[in-house]
Structure 1
Amino acid sequence: MNHTFQTSVSGVHTGVPPTYEMIKEEHEVSVLGAPRSSAPVTTTVINIRSDTSVPDHIVWSLFNSIFMNWCCLGFVAFAYSVKSRDRKMVGDVTGAQSYASTAKCLNIWALVLGLFLSIGFIVGVVCLIIFMGQ
């Protein structure tokens, strides 16, 4: 192997192209790889838990409980979000998904109801101001 390397290097430096036999021998050495040993092959198995991401919607629930807390839906959604986070910490993915789904539904209802009631309140105040001014 060393002789082939020296020959191909000397061929490169002298301007003489390497012959087919030298290239073939270099290819065979690289294909054969490292010599095999008679030692037993040991394997190591690593089990990696696939953590499924379960969103707990706690930030959305906190926003709804502070700003859009009509009928206390935001507070109830926050409670379910905390339960979902607790279930996720314990490792109960199914329970965490169930609580997260309930929290998401409550957050949607709190947001929609809060927006409708806020817009209705603003429209009502504007109408009251317009009719009182006449």
Structure 2
Amino acid sequence: MDNHTYNYQSDCTPLTNCKSARKPAGSTVVNMGSSGNKLPSDYLVWSLCNTLYVNFCCLGFMALIYSIKARDQKTQGNLQLAQECSDKAKWYNILAAGWNLLVPLLVVVLLVLLLVHLGTSQGSFDFFGEDGFQSFMKLFSSVH
């Protein structure tokens, strides 16, 4: 470090109140907009998630398109068109998310029903019995 001598005014030293003759230049006011005029949401993250997951009938992709349109219109200052695109993106996201939850739920329910039916059936073979898999494979291996 350099050995410099620092000169402080007698009334302004580090770690004490500074009673200098300098006054602040003034206050700065940042206007963040009125609280009553709320900007529309663009649902971009939700749309990305719906686009990347299942995406039945391109619902997630449509939501992504309207989300991007809503964001573009919001940055251009057209809040009415941004709100319309935001509403469409929200509904496409709701439809896509509903489908994304419905399909795996239906698959699980059908699998459980199939397993319960196979477990209780009194058919020609008992799949869950002692030799169930071997008797099941004999059905396909025997050639007449």
**Same fold per TM (> 0.5)?**
yes
Q: Do the aligned residues in 2 keep the contact of 1:64 with 1:110 (CA within 8 Å)?
A: yes
Distance 1:48 1:125, change over 3 A: closer
Structure 1 residues 73, 48: closer, same or farther in 2, change over 3 A? closer
Q: Give the structure with the higher percent helix.
A: 1
- Correspondences of 1:54-133 after superposition (within 5 Å): 54-132=40-118, 133=127
Aligned-partner residue type, residue 98 of structure 2: V
Structure 1 consecutive aligned stretches of length 4 or more whose deviation exceeds 2 Å: 47-52, 125-134
Identity level (%): 38
Contact kept? 1:64, 1:107, Cα under 8 Å:
yes
Give how far 1:61 is off.
0.6
SS of residue in 2 equivalent to 1:78: helix
Where do 5+ consecutive residues of structure 1 fail to align?
Answer: 1-46
Structure 2: tracts of 5 or more residues without a match: 1-30, 119-126, 129-144
Q: Specify the structure having the higher radius of gyration (Cα).
A: 1
- Deviations along 1:37-69, one digit per CA (max 9) or x if unpaired, are xxxxxxxxxx98546321000011111111241
TM-score of the aligned structures, taking structure 1 as reference length: 0.57
Say what the alpha-carbon RMSD is for the aligned residues. 2.4
* CA positional deviation for 1:128: 3.2
Task: Using the TM superposition, give the Cα deviation of residue 115 of structure 1 relative to its aligned residue in structure 2, in angstroms.
Answer: 1.1
Q: What is the count of residue pairs matched by the alignment?
A: 89
